[in-house]
Chain A
Amino acid sequence: MLGIIEALINGILMGSIYGLTAVGLTLIFGVMKVINFAHGSILMVGMFAAYWFVILTGWNPYFAIPVVVPLLFWFGYYMQSFIIKPIFEAEKDVREPITVIIVTTGIWYVLDNLALMIFGAEFRVAKTSVTGQVFEFYEMYFLLPKVIGAGITMVCGIYLYWFLKHSRMGKAIRATSLDREAASLMGIKQAKIYNVAFGLGSACCGMAACVLIPFYYVYPTVGVPFDIKAFIIVVLGGLGSIPGAILGGIIVGIIENVGAQFMAATWTELLLYGVFLFVLLVKPSGLFGQKHDY
């Protein structure tokens, strides 16, 4: 029984971190209607940035947040404005531009292989002051960095939700995601909104990277398993929905952890996709999907 509770809580903790990467993906999709296949690679870039920050300064890993998150924001911002925008413009009459998806796939390959060339294939672990710290209750162990990570995810989720609902930029983002043309007619600069959305999506990856570094390893294709999970989570939670992405992440984390207590860990993937299909059958727009996705 304790094992199941331990697994449940660990699932929620790890799941919220999956949720954080998924928030970035869902944000970009909500606004641009583009599935960003380079998302996992952006997470990898963030993780390398956070890793080197921790290794070079030797500071507490969470001090990397004010450096890595803005860095990733501008990384995403300029990637959208220099690489994605020209292709987007060629396809601007299409609601869901396919070529852009292919371009993001290209970015994924380029980034992963660049990292392989520059940093090599080794697995790197940053030993930080919080690494290996645990809480113990009745022989149940919870990693401190995971607890902090889950807390940061919640704060980010709430902040982003507030930002989109109430700030001027957030309203402009929502307007663009509802109707591009009408938003442009109201004087909203579409290109800038896209840059910001892509930047925010990447910044979420940067945040997730800082949270992962104290207990995870980095290598050039580290983003791939997170990427695949983020896709499931985003569809499960409802494309474009931020609470949906976080809740979807937690559901995935719970299925993975609790499921494995009753069956071989290999089978939890089956269970995961089973639940995923079931949700799509019952509610095709996902748990929090809306008619107008934003």
Chain B
Amino acid sequence: MKMFKQLVVPVVALAMLAGSFGFAQAAPDTVKIGNIIPLSGPSASVGIQGKQAREMAVEEINSAGGIKSLGGAKLELLFADSKGDPTVGVTEAERMINSEKVHLLTGCWNSAVTYPTTQVAERYGIPFIVPVSVRDTITERGFKNVFRIAAKDGWWAKDQFVFLDDMKKEFNVDIKKVAFVYENGDWGVGFAEKWVDLAKERGYEVVLNEPYPSTASDLTPVVIKLKRAKPDVVFMTSNAADAILLTNTMAEMKVNVKAIISSGGGHADPSFLAAAGQNAEYLFDIVEWEADLNRPGLKETNDKYKKLYGHNLNGESVDAYAAMYVIKEALEQAGSNDPEALRKTLSEIQVCGGKVGLLAYDCIDFDESGQNKNASLVIVQTRTKGKEMDRITVWPKNVRRAGYTPVFPQPEK
């Protein structure tokens, strides 16, 4: 024991002293960004795409010299797998903040996870950037540390109905009966609440209002119900697995409707199109972003992404990509990685052009609630193009792909 005190203690003390010198001299700190996203479970594919987009952006930022106002500090990404589970998300946020000492958090894609997880960040005063999670209430709790880039679902649901109004006028088609089919998480239920109000305002008859568990192994019963309800238009909110099951089963059971309008998420996932193939023909999907948008630098970035990971960018991954550049800009302007300073900068920042300009709008600008007020939406139609499926921007009319006329109503099966 005496030996221990004589030998080990001084050595440890010396090591610590030396270590602290080393620390003081190490020029630029790294900035730790904690990312809580679904890397396994039913939303894993979209989570992994978000991870890839973040990695590509951070690699670009770091190789371009890091954060200049912090002496070239590098960004460091830490990933936690939420499994799409709110409890896991909360635990991981606690771990990220307390053990990993992250300066910022981003995530979580699943609204049900983002909702409680942002609460943890708020309590610890860590800025939380939400690239995509559309549930309205995420930015409606008076939180100071939550910043959302994507549009909220109130805007999405409203634009779906405005789109339907425009289509009815453009093609002179009468629509009376609508059906709502949605996953029973926060996201789907949030959409459905809005849909019910919007349908009432416009005088549509709601023939089916059906939530389903997104972990269901069989959605045939939902499709049978939908077919028997005979709606003119179906509104859907689905994750990837259930979007595939619903779309394929609807095609097999020959469900005839005038249009299907989906809400991004699973329907915007590239693996959905690969798996559903021609069964997804004529589907309308609302998204924030599409690869055929005419934006400067988009093609180069998409080509680079495709070369690295083998698939195209989508709305979700572009938001995640832009989030990294927002963080970079905030760090540059704040000149500090202190969470409070970052929060303040983020609440005032306006990030325009550059990589952020890949989005469908020019600037990211957060209002007092932390919502990006410029976020806008487009609607695409899925069409067969050779062996693959193509998503063609059709609405608003001013951004419609040149020379394309949407198919509305869709032909009978």
Q: Are B252 and A143 neighbours in the complex by a CB distance under 8 Å?
A: yes
Which residue of the partner chain A has the closest CB to B189? A266
Q: Are B213 and A123 neighbours in the complex by a CB distance under 8 Å?
A: no
Query: Cβ of A122: which chain B residues have Cβ within 8 Å of it?
Result: 45, 270-271, 274-275
Which residue of the partner chain A has the closest CB to B181? A265
Which residue of the partner chain B has the closest CB to A259? B221
Stretch of B20-28, B36-44, B169-177, B345-353 with 4 or more beta carbons under 8 angstroms from chain A: B36-44
A123, A215, A261 interface centre (most CB from chain B within 10 Å): A123
- Spell out A's residues near B (CB within 8 Å): 2-3, 6-7, 10-11, 14, 18, 112-113, 116, 120-125, 127, 132, 134, 141, 143, 215, 217, 219-221, 224-226, 229, 253, 256-261, 264-266, 268-269
| Closest CB in chain A relative to B82 CB, distance in Å | 14
Is chain B's interface secondary structure helix, strand, loop, or mixed overall? helix
B251 contacts the other chain (CB 8 A) = yes
| Closest CB in chain B relative to A87 CB, distance in Å | 26
Known contacts: A14-B218, A132-B252, A256-B221. The answer to whether A217 contacts B244 by CB under 8 A is yes
21 contacts between A and B (CB under 8 A): A6-B224, A10-B224, A14-B220, A121-B40, A121-B44, A123-B244, A125-B277, A132-B252, A134-B253, A143-B252, A215-B248, A217-B245, A217-B275, A220-B44, A221-B41, A221-B42, A225-B217, A253-B218, A257-B221, A264-B211, A266-B184
Q: Are B224 and A217 neighbours in the complex by a CB distance under 8 Å?
A: no
| Closest CB in chain A relative to B228 CB, distance in Å | 4
Q: Are A134 and B221 neighbours in the complex by a CB distance under 8 Å?
A: no
B45, B251, B279 interface centre (most CB from chain A within 10 Å): B45
Known contacts: A225-B216, A256-B218. The answer to whether A125 contacts B248 by CB under 8 A is yes
Q: Are B271 and A123 neighbours in the complex by a CB distance under 8 Å?
A: yes
Having A10-B224, A221-B40, one finds 9 other A-B pairs with CB under 8 Å, namely A3-B227, A7-B224, A116-B40, A121-B271, A123-B274, A132-B279, A219-B241, A225-B215, A261-B225
Known contacts: A220-B44, A225-B215. The answer to whether A132 contacts B241 by CB under 8 A is no
B212 contacts the other chain (CB 8 A) = yes
- Spell out B's residues near A (CB within 8 Å): 39-42, 44-45, 47-48, 184, 210-213, 215-222, 224-225, 227-228, 240-241, 244-245, 248, 251-254, 270-272, 274-277, 279
Query: Cβ of A264: which chain B residues have Cβ within 8 Å of it?
Result: 210-212
Query: Cβ of B217: which chain A residues have Cβ within 8 Å of it?
Result: 18, 225-226, 229
Q: Are A121 and B251 neighbours in the complex by a CB distance under 8 Å?
A: no
A113 touches which one: B40, B219, B225 (CB < 8 A)?
B40
Query: Cβ of B279: which chain A residues have Cβ within 8 Å of it?
Result: 132
CA A265 to CA B184, docked complex, whole Å: 9
Q: Are A10 and B272 neighbours in the complex by a CB distance under 8 Å?
A: no
CA A3 to CA B223, docked complex, whole Å: 10
Known contacts: A226-B217, A260-B225. The answer to whether A265 contacts B254 by CB under 8 A is no
Query: Cβ of A113: which chain B residues have Cβ within 8 Å of it?
Result: 40
CA A268 to CA B225, docked complex, whole Å: 14
Which residue of the partner chain B has the closest CB to A126? B275
Known contacts: A10-B221, A125-B248. The answer to whether A116 contacts B275 by CB under 8 A is no
